[in-house]
Amino acid sequence: MNDTSITNTEKNVGWDSLKEKVEAFCIKHSIPLPNYDEPYANSGRLRRKVVDYTTLHHYRVDAFYKIIDWQLQELNDRFNEVTSDLLNGVACLNQIDTFSSFDIQKILVMTKLYHDDFDEFNMRVLENQLVKDIIDVRDIDKRFSNLSGLRVLSRKLVETKKHLTYPLVFLLVKFALLLPVAIGSVERAFSAMKYIKNDLRNRMDDEFLDGCIVPYVEKRVFKNISNECIIETFQGMKRHRMHL
């Protein structure tokens, strides 16, 4: 099983905020709130069955915790270990709730996937930068409080010149920002292949397939390129039997 499990303490963070929102909604619309300290009564068609735990336990453990566990199991079934390491690492860079999800070890596990950019020496330097950076942006520099996402975090690092103080941390943030774009581009390419390399055109070589996929995927870019420009570029590539 991939390492996407969370503790009950971590679940309680989400439970408390959800409970507050539900209570505010009920008060606003005059909906009676349950007494969380009373024994939970399971209503059935024929009778109401009283159990030996409270209403709070039912909603928090039997409903909220169980749904989270189902979602985690679904994530584990859909994503392999490498993908889970990437997602866990990116989540640890999230600055919501004053970097409450920050975990250096999970970030370093994600970093090991980028062999070309982080060798053994850079890994040690990155770990040192992460220790100093989290103290700086979480406990000292109040300009980094209440940021809304990695995009805002990267911009704030540049504005405060901290991208020069922690260059490897800034590189890691950029990788995290590029990840959704890279994944989306791959998905678009595979989707395009179903339409381009079909049963009638299943013998095209890789070079011709690449030439067809790029214009199909990047339609918005190629809309601004005239046919005359394409013809001139094609004609200048090599000698042809005839001019287009």
Q: Residue 27: its pLDDT value, please? A: 92
CA gap 185, 172 in Å, rounded: 20
pLDDT value of residue 3: 47
User: Is the entire prediction scored with pTM above 0.75?
Assistant: no
Which of 78, 110, 137 terminates a domain? The answer is 78
Structure confidence at residue 97 (pLDDT): 65
- How far, in Å, CA of 32 to CA of 122, rounded? 58
Q: Is residue 215 part of a domain?
A: yes
With 0-12 / 13-18 / 19 or more C-beta atoms within 10 angstroms meaning exposed / middle / buried, residue 169 is buried
Based on the fold, state whether residues 109 and 168 are members of the same structural domain.
Answer: yes
Give the pLDDT confidence score for residue 185 in this predicted structure.
Answer: 64
Last residue of a domain, one of 179, 210, 226: 179
Surface-to-core class of residue 216, CB atoms within 10 Å of its CB (0-12 exposed, 13-18 middle, 19+ buried): middle
Q: Is residue 186 part of a domain?
A: no
Residue 2, in any domain of the structure: no
Residues 92 and 115 in one domain: yes
Task: Check whether residue 140 and residue 88 sit in a common domain.
Answer: yes
Give the C-alpha separation, 72 to 3, whole Å.
10
Evaluate whether residue 3 is within a structural domain: no
Are residue 57 and residue 131 in the same domain, yes or no?
no
Q: Are residues 95 and 40 in the same domain?
A: no
Instruction: Mark whether 112 and 74 lie in a shared domain.
Output: no
Q: Which two tokens stand for residue 14?
A: 């989400």
Query: How many whole angstroms separate alpha carbon 91 and alpha carbon 172?
Result: 12
Tokens of 76: 């584990």
55 lies in the same domain as 102: no
Q: How far apart are CA 63 and CA 73, in angstroms?
A: 15
Query: In this predicted structure, what is the pLDDT of residue 55?
Result: 87
Q: What is the pLDDT of residue 24?
A: 92
Task: Please give the pLDDT value at position 88.
Answer: 81
Amino acid at 101: S
Return the pLDDT at 206.
Answer: 75
- What residues contact 85, with CB distance under 8 A and at least 6 apart? 3, 106, 109, 110, 113
The answer to whether residue 244 sits within a structural domain is: no
pLDDT score, position 241 = 59
Could you tell me if 70 and 85 lie in one domain? no
Give the span between the Cα atoms of 62 and 65, in whole angstroms: 6
224 inside domain: yes
Q: Do 94 and 62 lie in a common domain?
A: no
Within 10 angstroms of residue 196's Cβ, the number of other Cβ atoms is 17
Domain that residue 53 falls in: 8-78
Same domain (yes/no): 112, 123: yes
pLDDT at 4: 46
Q: Using the 8-state DSSP alphabet, how is residue 92 labeled?
A: H
pLDDT tens for each residue of the chain, 244 residues long = 444 456 666 666 678 888 889 999 999 999 998 888 888 877 654 455 556 788 888 888 888 888 888 888 887 777 677 777 877 888 888 776 667 778 888 888 888 888 888 888 988 999 999 888 888 887 788 888 777 778 888 888 898 898 899 898 888 888 888 877 666 666 666 677 777 777 666 677 777 777 777 777 777 777 888 888 878 877 777 665 556 5
Structural domains counted in the chain: 3
Query: Looking at the structure, do residues 12 and 64 belong to the same domain, yes or no?
Result: yes
